[in-house]
Homo-oligomer: A and B are copies of this chain.
Amino acid sequence: MKRKAVPRKTQQRQLISKCLHELCHPSAEDVWNCVRKEIPGVNKTTIYRNLRRMVDEGELKCFMTDSGVMLFDSTLDRHYHLRCDKCGKISDIPSALFDRIAEIMQKEKQFKITDYNLTLSGICADCQERANRKTSNPDQDLGS
């Protein structure tokens, strides 16, 4: 296990954190635009690198949109997303209820559900078994 050095408090990194708290499900570009207000010369690469590192270190979550753009989410608790088909705006649903979601959304948020996509992540039976076999005979890892 390699241990990463403590991140340095650069102006850029601090501003990125600040912007993440101000913005709601921003893309890297959204963050860039926010940071640029105070550091006009920041490079997009710096934004990408810092965001990715924050995700790697667990300070931040991210998810993919249908159009292939990564969005970032400073809310670390499990929760759902509500995405409007028309304007594309994404809002949060706290992860309390799991049942009757469509009805509740319709009644309480006036959001008319037309589709949904739930992706559960975890470890499949095959991989669990493979991991068990590897505890005595370690070969290469499949992990991405």
Residues of A within 8 A of B (CB): 63-68, 70, 78, 80-89, 91, 93, 98-102, 105, 109-128, 130-131, 142-144
Q: Pick the contact of A142: B64, B86, B91, B121 (CB < 8 A).
A: B86
Say what secondary structure dominates the interface of chain A.
Answer: mixed
Q: Pick the contact of A78: B81, B83, B115 (CB < 8 A).
A: B115
Number of copies: 2
Given A84-B127, A124-B84: A116 and B119 interface contact (C-beta under 8 Å): yes
Q: Are A87's CB and B142's CB within 8 A?
A: yes
User: Which 9 residue pairs spanning A and B have beta carbons closest together?
Assistant: A84-B124, A110-B125, A86-B127, A113-B122, A118-B118, A80-B118, A115-B121, A116-B120, A114-B122
Q: Are A81's CB and B143's CB within 8 A?
A: no
Q: Pick the contact of A99: B98, B102, B124 (CB < 8 A).
A: B98
Given A66-B64, A99-B98: A86 and B116 interface contact (C-beta under 8 Å): no
Q: Are A111's CB and B122's CB within 8 A?
A: yes
